């Protein structure tokens, strides 16, 4: 019996030692950093090619060279030390330092076989069998719907890689790009208090034919929802001449836009340009119901939300909305100047003696107008109703209009832009 107990204890000890060794080995493997770049293998998108904080690899300039600074990569070089994953544009969890974008057949090299595959699709474009999710391209590295000179440059970066030099990592043959339709709100300028402004919506559907669009356009200032305008109508463009549109101001302040066609040939063909112009009426800054933020801000951000785009068969497409801004031109409000160049924050919301003095300095040339001041100081001149278009120069005639603005007298800014009748 004692012998059996001793044997059991020895067996138990052996098993415990084995488990301890296994535990240590597993943890060593998990914490291993094969390329010494400071990122453990299990978290490294290039475990065998350095692209971390301790060591990097040139992905521009002298390709494949070890580096710790951009200068070490030569002219226009870039050293990948932050797990960069920019190809394809949406990323693929393989770092740029080791990814083999042109390895179309998923072996360990980019050779003559890839050249043949690349040339088969070279020249495809918006007007010649565009790259789509249903008919993808080999070589559309930028995922912009075509295979052109920009893609040749990327292909040549990989050409010649093999098991003997910068071998391609293990990969899985999948579609490179995930194409989607993109709706952009184009920027616009209006004078505060102007009755109407058109908001232009541009559709990039270079890889799709589109049958219909629905979107909510919501306003915000500094990230907070606001309601400064009301949508009152819409106007189709050349691309959508066989379509109709409808707009509705929702209770939440957003404008619902629907673009549809009952025509049998109604389709928005692949292109990149305007599809509809939305008519908006901005609130009157002199009315109490107009939010104060709408009268003091420089720009209102228009954000497309709840975007739905249908393809030619009525199925939903992957879609993205890009916001734009409607910025207010505040006639004569030029003081103080911009806080920093390009900030577009000149003025204080009123026109007074300080604006007159600033306008006079700009007209005399003793001060140089910043971008914001140039827009606000160059005004329609004359006396209502004889008002003249801005002439591109700040001079005494502009100063006289600013004086009238400060005195709340008849002025061409109010007449020309806001439709004030005296």
Q: What is the pLDDT of residue 347?
A: 84
**Confidence class of residue 354 from pLDDT cuts 50, 70 and 90?**
very high
Helices (H) and strands (E) in the chain, counts: 8, 17
Query: Is the per-residue pLDDT at 382 higher than 60?
Result: yes
Rounded CA-CA distance 177/133 in Å is 7
Lowest mean pLDDT among 1-15, 76-90, 223-237, 388-402: 1-15
**Confidence class of residue 48 from pLDDT cuts 50, 70 and 90?**
very high
Per cent of the chain over pLDDT 70 is 88
Residue in this structure with the two tokens 């072996």, named with its chain if needed: 107
Q: What is the pLDDT of residue 415?
A: 80
Q: What is the pLDDT of residue 293?
A: 83
Map out the domains of the chain with their CATH numbers.
37-93 (no CATH), 100-178 (no CATH), 181-329 (2.60.40.680), 353-418 (no CATH)
Q: Are strands 272-282 and 229-236 parallel, antiparallel or unpaired?
A: antiparallel
The answer to whether the bond into 331 is cis (omega within 30° of 0) is no
What are the phi and psi torsion angles at 153 (to 5°)? -60, -45
Lowest mean pLDDT among 120-134, 188-202, 212-226, 346-360: 188-202
Q: What is the pLDDT of residue 178?
A: 87
Query: Is the per-residue pLDDT at 185 higher than 70?
Result: yes
What is the mean predicted confidence (pLDDT) over 5-20? 43
Rounded CA-CA distance 257/304 in Å is 10
Predicted TM-score of the model (pTM):
0.66
Residue 38: both structure tokens together: 């400071």
Q: What is the pLDDT of residue 191?
A: 61
**Using one digit for the tens of pLDDT, what is the confidence trace for 133-148?**
889 999 999 998 899 9
Query: Is the per-residue pLDDT at 11 higher than 60?
Result: no
What are the phi and psi torsion angles at 403 (to 5°)? -60, -45
**Using one digit for the tens of pLDDT, what is the confidence trace for 205-248?**
988 899 999 999 999 998 999 999 999 999 999 999 999 999 99
Q: What is the pLDDT of residue 96?
A: 95
What is the mean predicted confidence (pLDDT) over 23-42? 73
């Amino acid at each position: 019996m004692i012998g059996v107990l001793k044997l059991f204890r020895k067996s138990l000890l052996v098993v415990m030692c084995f488990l301890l060794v296994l535990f240590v080995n597993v943890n060593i493997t998990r914490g291993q950093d094969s390329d010494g770049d400071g990122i453990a293998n299990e978290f490294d998108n290039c475990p065998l090619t350095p692209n971390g904080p301790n060591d990097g690899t040139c992905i521009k300039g002298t390709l494949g060279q070890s580096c710790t600074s951009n200068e070490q990569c030569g002219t226009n070089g870039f050293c990948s030390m932050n797990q960069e994953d920019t190809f394809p544009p949406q990323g693929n969890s393989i770092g740029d330092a080791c990814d083999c974008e042109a390895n179309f057949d998923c072996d360990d090299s980019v050779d003559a076989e890839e050249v043949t595959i690349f040339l088969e699709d070279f020249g495809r474009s918006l007007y010649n069998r565009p790259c789509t999710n249903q008919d993808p391209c080999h070589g559309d590295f930028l995922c912009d719907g075509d295979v052109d000179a920009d893609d040749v440059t990327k292909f040549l970066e990989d050409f010649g890689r093999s098991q003997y030099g910068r071998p391609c990592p293990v990969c899985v043959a999948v579609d490179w790009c995930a194409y989607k339709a993109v709706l952009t709100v184009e920027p616009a300028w209006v004078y505060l208090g102007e009755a109407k402004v058109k908001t232009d919506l541009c559709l990039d559907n270079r890889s799709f034919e589109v049958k219909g669009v629905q979107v909510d356009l919501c306003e915000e200032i500094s990230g907070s929802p606001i309601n400064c305008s009301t949508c009152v109508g819409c106007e189709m463009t050349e691309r959508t001449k066989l379509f109709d549109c409808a707009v509705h101001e929702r209770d939440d302040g957003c404008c619902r836009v629907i673009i549809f066609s009952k025509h049998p040939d109604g389709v928005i063909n692949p292109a990149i340009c305007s599809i509809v112009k939305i008519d908006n009426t901005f609130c009157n800054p002199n009315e109490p119901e107009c939010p104060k933020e709408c009268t003091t801000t420089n720009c209102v951000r228009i954000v497309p939300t709840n975007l739905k785009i249908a393809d030619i068969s009525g199925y939903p497409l992957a879609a993205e909305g890009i916001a734009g801004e409607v910025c207010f031109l505040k006639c004569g409000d030029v003081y103080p100047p911009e806080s920093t160049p390009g900030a577009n924050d000149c003025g204080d919301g009123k026109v007074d003696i300080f604006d007159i003095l600033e306008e006079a300095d700009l007209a005399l040339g003793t001060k140089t107008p910043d971008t914001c001041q140039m827009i606000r100081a160059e005004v329609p001149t004359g006396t209502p109703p004889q008002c003249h278009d801005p002439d591109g120069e700040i001079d005494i005639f502009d100063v006289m209009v600013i004086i009238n603005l400060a005195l709340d007298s008849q002025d061409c800014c109010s007449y020309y832009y806001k439709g004030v009748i005296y």
